[in-house]
Amino acid sequence: MDIDKYLDDVLKSQTLDEDGAEMKALRKRRDEIEKLLREKFPSNPSIGYAGSAKKGTMILESYDLDITCYFKPDDTQAGGSLKDIFKNVRAALQGKYTVETKASALRLKGLDREVHGVDFHIDVVPGRFTEEGSKDVFLHREGDDEKTRLKTNPEIHVSHVRDSGVRDAIRMIKYWRERNGIEIKTFVLELLVIDFLKEKKDRSLRTQLKHVWTEFRDHSVSLSTKDPANREGNDLAPFLNDAVKVQLRQVSERTLRQVEGDKWEEVFGKVPGSDAPSKVSLLTAAITARPVAQTFKPYGD
């Protein structure tokens, strides 16, 4: 097997077609949601599009679109507190969608009979800018009695991943996570891969993947990373609990045995040959076609 070609084919098979049904559905819902939010909140909040599409790390196995809805520091139309903003944006969406509450985001699913319960692969992230002219934002953290407010910076998150130089490795490790049911948040996984590969950007994809798995296998107990937007203020340790570390170590052990025996198809499965060019740039352009003020994906899917 030509392993380099195989890995390239896996990447292509996990690239959403810009003209495909998934992207058309995302664009349609995106427009509906923006219209709804602007009708409900005419004070003109900053509405942006974010997540893996903006970063260039989207995969077909697990994809979504993140829509940010950020209010100015002195805008109280959606509420005076972050919790109020979160609650009122959720209420605005509930008239048209089934809304699943996440830590700092609202997952949208079908409400009408013909699409009831269907996952639209869209998260809405409400928040408020920290001060006029700042790109920092405060997000409400639902269900966390100790820390109900999270400070972060959308642009730093996006650029940190987008400009990392290891997006192919990130996409492959995300696909590996999905195939093995590893319960680690996307953003934390992205940060770990970037940390591991900061000195290996010029290596082959197979070498990069083996290095990431070796780090997971040999150093799972000491795994840690920091939020580049708020390195000391945001504690990511809860996202790397003992259960996650054990999963990463055990699956990495098995994966390394497979690839050392040249059994890459046991890791990523069989893929049809494809001569189609990568469409990551087209995908990103489609989602960010119109100018927006901010883009952000909080701590993962």
Residue recorded with tokens 């780090």: 215
pLDDT tens digits, 75-104: 999 999 999 999 999 999 998 999 999 989
Q: Is residue 295 part of a domain?
A: no
Query: Residue 119 belongs to what H/E stretch?
Result: strand 119-129
Cα gap 56→222, rounded to integer Å: 29
Name 67's bridge partners: 49, 124
Pairing between strand 137-140 and 149-152? antiparallel
CA atoms of 223 and 212, how far apart (whole Å):
12
Largest Cα separation within the chain, whole Å, is: 60
Task: Provide the pLDDT for residue 145.
Answer: 62
Residue 36 lies in a domain: yes
Q: Which domain holds residue 147?
A: 3-287
Please name the residues in contact with 161: beta carbons below 8 A apart, sequence gap of 6 or more.
55, 56, 57, 167, 170, 190, 194
Q: Which residues in 57-97 belong to E strands, given as ranges? A: 65-71
pLDDT tens digits, one per residue of 271-292: 865 444 444 544 444 444 443 3
Name residues of the chain where pLDDT drops below 50.
274-279, 281-301
Give the pairing type, strands 46-50 and 98-101: unpaired
Alpha carbon of residue 297 to chain centroid? 6
Q: Is residue 131 part of a domain?
A: yes
Q: Flag whether 297 is in a domain.
A: no
Tell me what pLDDT residue 275 has: 45
Specify the amino acid at residue 134: S
Residue 15 maps to a domain: yes
Please give the tally of structural domains in the chain: 1
Q: What is the pLDDT of residue 63?
A: 82
Residue 241 lies in a domain: yes
Cα gap 253→165, rounded to integer Å: 26
Domain of residue 144, CATH code: 1.10.1410.40
- Asked if residue 293 is part of any domain, the answer here is no
Q: Which SS3 state, helix, strand or coil, does residue 271 take? A: coil
Q: Which two tokens stand for residue 269?
A: 């499965």
pTM for this entry: 0.84
The answer to whether 23 and 184 are in contact (CB under 8 A) is: no
Q: Buried b / exposed e across 109-128, counting CB within 10 Å, b at 16+?
A: bebeeeeeeeebbbbbbbbb
What's the CA gap between 139 and 1, in Å, rounded?
48
Query: For residue 21, what pLDDT is reported?
Result: 81
Supply the pLDDT for residue 293: 38
Q: How far is Cα 39 from Cα 41, in angstroms, rounded to an integer? A: 6
- Domain annotation covers residue 292: no
Q: Which residues contact 280 (CB under 8 A, 6 or more apart)?
A: 15, 56, 58, 167
Joined tokens for residue 173:
């490790």
Q: What is the pLDDT of residue 95?
A: 87
CA distances from 245 to 223, 257, 258, 264 (A): 8, 19, 20, 23
Q: How many CB atoms lie within 10 A of CB 170?
A: 26
Q: To which H or E segment does residue 191 belong?
A: helix 186-196
pLDDT in tens, 41-51: 999 999 987 78
